[in-house]
Amino acid sequence: MVMKGARIVLEALAREGCEVIFGYPGGVTLPIYDSLYDHHIRHILVRHEENACFAAEGYARSTGKVGVCMATSGPGATNLVTGLVDALMDSIPVVAITGQVPQNLIGRDAFQEADTFGITRSCTKHNYLVKDVNDLARSIHEAFHIASTGRPGPVLVDITKDVLLSQGMYHAPGPIHLRGYKVSLEGHAGQIKRAAQMIWEAERPYVYAGGGIVASGAAEELREFAEVLEAPVAETLMGLGSLASEHPHCIGLLGMHGSYAANMGISNADLLIALGVRFDDRVTGRLEAFARHAKVVHVDIDPAEIGKNRHADLPIVGDVKHVLGRLNKLLAETKGTEGRAKAQARARWMEQTREWRQLHPFSTAYSDTEIKPQFLVREIDRVLGGNAILSADVGQHQMWAAQYVRFKRPRQWINSGGLGAMGFGLPAAIGAQCGNPDKLVFALIGDGGFQMSLPELSTIASYGLPIKIVVMNNGCLGMIRQWQELFYNKRYCAMELDSFPNCELLAAAFGMKGRTIDKPQQVAEALHEAIEEPGPYLLNVKVTPEENVYPMVPAGGAVNEMILDTPAPVEVGD
């Protein structure tokens, strides 16, 4: 079928199941928008290209499908970079379509020219510069294949304007085979058998579950694994929801702001079963002290992650869903062979983790006169009852949400984990709502991150997206203030946010309802009011400014060296 390059782009996207594009037009991409005028693919016009990528991530994170964003050449493409890095760090499947100046102008400093291909090589899983219309369809189909297979990630397709205007032949995609791109799914049978042996030999096994569980759709296999093994399961920030929070074997968040039970468990385990994780520094703390008594079984689809940060005594390269499925079968067949003593030891170990949870639970801070941020998040959790998608921005509120909110299933928790990109929460909620129009979507955002993405209120209003926005407003950059208090002798600098807009007037300006509250007695009523409102709702919650997130592992500390409450200030040197 012969068609213009711009039409080929849309035809390829449609055949890949693309439902929505998050984008911002420009001169170079106008041919695509001209073809989009009478095409069925939905387009969401964001107010900044960075937010187009964040929205595509929110769509992908909440649905498991590939998110698509689009921007023009030059500043449009460069504005995508933060979102691409974010998707790469968190292994999120995104395809970014960008325009490029015509081939005869490349390298001549043409208007809105940038070396998008070169700029994005280090922040994508793969990227393309398409200079021949006959390569266009193949490049887009390959981009979706690469983004969604193996370890997911972002792929960028940069297309010159002359290609978009040229006539070319569209060929329906067949099976894609890329030389040098091999994905191992099943895992080595011998290694899986050895893992089963190591598990039954252990007295204090501990499951460390990460974002790979979510990406591979392995939640059911993880639940079965935990129940057969009867072992505690801790989750990373990206892994929350992998095992339902209310499951008796789930001990919640692990790492810098993880629970006392989770961090003590990993510090005393004799076998660490790491599933779809990368041993990042926010989990491990001081690496040489991390799980020092444990042998490590590491399952990951990306061989580059195994042994990168922590030596694996037993590496298994494969998709965690496939590997756990085979491992569960082996464990079920051999259960009871470990001997009574081992079984009793594991029962005592599980009981020990429950005792740690009771010894140091998360704070239940409350005041009759002001809204404690911890109380706000607990109320959000109570009102939602585990039935909503929650998109968080970055900062203290993100950590409190990770600590207190109970998730029943994967893909309910949307957050910027590896990059920690402020401004993420609101556009990600837009993507999540577009991908899940029948679900309740909450955006929990700090006053700092909200002001970074404030223009997207216009996007929400334009499309009538019923997102419930809760701003945790402490009048400052909360995590910056916390670190300056604890480690810089309270030398507060450049952290105060003292000019937050009038919430009611701001919401009204965009044609939505809004409200400000500052008393704890108002919280439940305001949350119910937001939920019952059929359209978007902006709730500004003034919380106690000087509250810190605990537990906290200080920079350079071991994961079991937690600050459990406010210590005396420590001054660091230059």
Catalytic residues: 49, 111-112, 161, 479
Written as one string, the DSSP assignment of 77-100 is HHTTHHHHHHHHHHT--EEEEEEE
CB 234 within 8 A of CB 207: yes
- Residues contacting 506, CB < 8 A, separation 6+: 457, 514, 538
Helices (H), 364-477: 373-384, 396-404, 425-435, 447-452, 456-463
Give the separation between CA 292 and CA 367, rounded to whole angstroms: 41
Give the separation between CA 354 and CA 472, rounded to whole angstroms: 31
Q: Cβ–Cβ contacts within 10 Å for residue 14, how many?
A: 13
Residues belonging to the chain: 574
CB 263 within 8 A of CB 200: no
Q: H-helix or E-strand containing 320?
A: helix 320-334
CB 20 within 8 A of CB 42: yes
Q: H-helix or E-strand containing 528?
A: helix 523-532
Q: Are strands 2-4 and 167-169 parallel, antiparallel or unpaired?
A: antiparallel
- Residue 222 bridge partners (DSSP): none
Q: Using the 8-state DSSP alphabet, how is residue 361 labeled?
A: P
- Residue 234 bridge partners (DSSP): 208, 252
For 448, half-sphere exposure in the C-beta direction (CA atoms, 13 angstrom radius) is: 20
> What is each CA distance from 314 to 151, 210, 225, 236, 302, in whole angstroms?
20, 18, 18, 21, 15
User: Which tokens is 254 given?
Assistant: 């692990």
Backbone phi and psi for residue 343, each to the nearest 5 degrees, phi listed first: -60, -40
Cis peptide before 551, with omega less than 30 degrees from 0?
A: yes
Helices (H), 120-188: 136-148, 161-165
Q: Using the 8-state DSSP alphabet, how is residue 264 labeled?
A: H
Q: Helix, strand, or coil here: 246? A: coil
- Residues contacting 358, CB < 8 A, separation 6+: none
Strand order in the sheet with 295-300: 250-253, 233-235, 205-209, 271-275, 295-300, 314-317
- Residues contacting 440, CB < 8 A, separation 6+: 384, 387, 388, 389, 468, 531
User: Which tokens is 64 given?
Assistant: 């498991």
CB 441 within 8 A of CB 433: yes
